[in-house]
């Protein structure tokens, strides 16, 4: 083995000692049981380090500093320019041209991020995600403290979250039962508190014999939840998530949680048309209102009773207009630990038809259709795709199958496009 390969796999004696300290407390069980137990252990560590005041804990001083805002802005501009050039080259289109001022700004951005060599090594396959370890950990710590100490104040019975799904990417989206979420909070709160008392004798004071285990979490374990819950790469945060959730174990047709199917194979359950992307607004009971716990500062009784399916509504991301949802599909949205059965049922349904003049049979759908047609025309003009633009104009000239007032709708939607989208 060469020295270079040896260095790639070499670890310090200190890390070996810390890992063995963790391994010595592990208990054998099913995958689901082991995950729950390890999450309780990590919750115990978070109780001291997060709820106890992250900025005051010694290990936080070693966390990498956040990327300065000026560098973030420079990288965003560089990624946008390089992505546009890459897309043009892939489509056989001429590369974008730049004014002298734009080129000067680009060169300044290159210097801000550290030079041309760094720019040449970027990977356009991944979205730009600036290193923000400190702000993400501080945000995670504040949220954990908020939930662990139950600093909830007056709660609404319902939580509403919105997300945009790219149907062309594929994949499957599920909703999770609020009753299960409440039970998970109870489990992690109680067992995490017990593990905290095993590791710490007082705030920021590690019990004798637990030093190596705590140091492993302090210095080696990466808290990926802090990234998922606070990163800007996928929006402000993941919807309907927090630190008091058991990890989902999902394989083949089985799951450790009750799941309700929301979208799969390019189809959103309840939507009767095929779309490239769709916005979903999901309204569900707040699991904190179902907890069998004394809720601090809550001036209403704890809710009880069976939780129904989450209320899901859809909207077009371009216009924000609501898309009609079909009724009587509860059999496809029921909660189950065998979600693969529902996915198979949906896969057997007839394929959906895209939105066209023929099935845009409501004013809302007509507005959505013409908005997307206007945007397609703008994109075709920007790319100088004469053939596509001519086809759209020829199709538009045939008014026989257009809804009444469709030209006014197109003009209205086109006027609402951003100025950058109209500069072709």
The band of 153, judged by pLDDT with boundaries at 50, 70 and 90, is low
Please name the residues in contact with 256: beta carbons below 8 A apart, sequence gap of 6 or more: 32, 246, 248, 249, 250, 337
In the prediction, which pLDDT does 296 show? 34
Write out pLDDT tens, residues 324-361. 888 777 788 788 889 888 888 888 888 888 888 888 88
* Cβ atoms of 276 and 167 closer than 8 Å: yes
In the prediction, which pLDDT does 287 show? 53
Query: Regarding predicted confidence, which is higher, 410 or 332?
Result: 332
Written as six digits, the tokens of 64 are 């990498």
In the prediction, which pLDDT does 284 show? 60
Kindly state the helix (H) or strand (E) to which residue 100 belongs, with its residue range. Answer: helix 100-113
In the prediction, which pLDDT does 241 show? 67
Mean pLDDT for 348-377 is 85
The whole model's pTM is what? 0.70
Burial 270-280 (b: 16+ CB within 10 A, else e): bbebebeebbb
Write out pLDDT tens, residues 88-144. 999 899 999 999 999 999 999 999 999 999 999 998 888 888 888 898 889 889 889
In the prediction, which pLDDT does 171 show? 65
Distance of alpha carbon 125 from alpha carbon 114, whole angstroms: 21
- What's the Cα-to-Cα distance from 336 to each of 45, 158, 173, 308, 397, rounded to whole Å? 33, 22, 14, 13, 51
Among residues 48, 314, 90, 20, which one has the least CA distance to residue 204?
48
Q: Describe the chain by its helix, strand, coil percentages, rounded to 5.
A: 50, 10, 40
Write out pLDDT tens, residues 182-235. 788 899 999 999 999 999 999 999 999 999 999 999 999 888 777 777 664 444
Please name the residues in contact with 10: beta carbons below 8 A apart, sequence gap of 6 or more: none
In the prediction, which pLDDT does 248 show? 81
* Cβ atoms of 352 and 274 closer than 8 Å: yes
* Cβ atoms of 182 and 291 closer than 8 Å: yes
Distance of alpha carbon 365 from alpha carbon 164, whole angstroms: 18
* Helix residue ranges per DSSP H, 177-329: 178-199, 211-219, 224-230
Radius of gyration of the chain (CA): 27
In the prediction, which pLDDT does 374 show? 83
Write out pLDDT tens, residues 48-92. 999 999 988 998 988 889 999 999 999 999 999 999 999 999 989
In the prediction, which pLDDT does 235 show? 47
What is the average pLDDT value for the chain, to the nearest integer? 78
């Amino acid at each position: 083995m060469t020295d270079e390969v040896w260095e790639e796999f070499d670890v310090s004696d200190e890390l070996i000692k810390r890992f063995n300290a963790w391994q010595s407390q592990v208990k054998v069980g099913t995958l689901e049981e082991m995950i729950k137990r390890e999450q309780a252990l990590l919750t115990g560590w978070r109780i001291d380090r997060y709820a106890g005041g992250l900025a005051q804990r010694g290990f936080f001083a070693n966390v990498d500093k956040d990327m300065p805002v000026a560098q973030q802005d420079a990288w965003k501009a560089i990624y946008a320019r390089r992505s546009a050039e890459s897309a043009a080259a892939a489509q056989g289109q001429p590369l974008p041209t730049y004014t002298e001022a734009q080129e000067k700004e680009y060169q300044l951005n290159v210097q801000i991020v550290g030079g041309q060599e760094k720019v040449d090594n970027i990977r356009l396959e991944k979205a730009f995600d600036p290193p923000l370890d400190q702000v993400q950990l501080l945000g995670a710590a504040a949220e954990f403290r908020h939930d662990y100490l139950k600093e909830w104040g007056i709660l609404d019975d319902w939580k509403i979250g919105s997300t945009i799904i790219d149907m062309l990417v594929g994949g499957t989206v599920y909703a999770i039962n609020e009753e299960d979420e409440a039970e998970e909070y109870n489990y992690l709160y109680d067992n995490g508190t017990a593990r905290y008392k095993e590791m710490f004798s007082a705030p920021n004071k590690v019990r004798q014999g637990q030093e190596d285990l705590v140091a492993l979490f302090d210095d080696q374990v990466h808290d990926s939840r802090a990234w998922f819950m606070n990163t800007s790469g996928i929006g402000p945060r993941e919807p309907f998530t927090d630190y008091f959730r058991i990890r989902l174990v999902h394989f083949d047709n089985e799951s450790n949680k009750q799941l309700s199917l929301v979208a799969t194979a390019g189809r959103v359950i309840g939507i009767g048309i095929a779309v490239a992307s769709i916005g979903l607004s999901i309204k569900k009971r707040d699991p904190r209102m179902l907890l069998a716990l004394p809720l601090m500062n809550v001036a209403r009784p704890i809710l009880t009773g069976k939780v129904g399916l989450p209320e899901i509504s859809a909207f077009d991301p371009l216009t924000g207009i609501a898309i009609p949802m079909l009724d009587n599909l509860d059999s496809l949205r029921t909660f189950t630990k065998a979600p693969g059965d529902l996915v198979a049922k949906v896969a057997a349904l007839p394929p959906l038809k895209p939105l066209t003049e023929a099935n845009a049979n409501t004013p809302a759908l007509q507005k959505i259709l013409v908005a997307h047609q206007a945007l397609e025309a703008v994109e075709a003009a920007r790319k100088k795709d004469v053939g596509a633009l001519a086809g759209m104009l020829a199709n538009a000239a045939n008014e026989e199958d257009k809804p009444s007032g469709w030209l006014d709708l197109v003009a209205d939607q086109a006027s609402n496009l951003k100025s950058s989208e109209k500069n072709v």
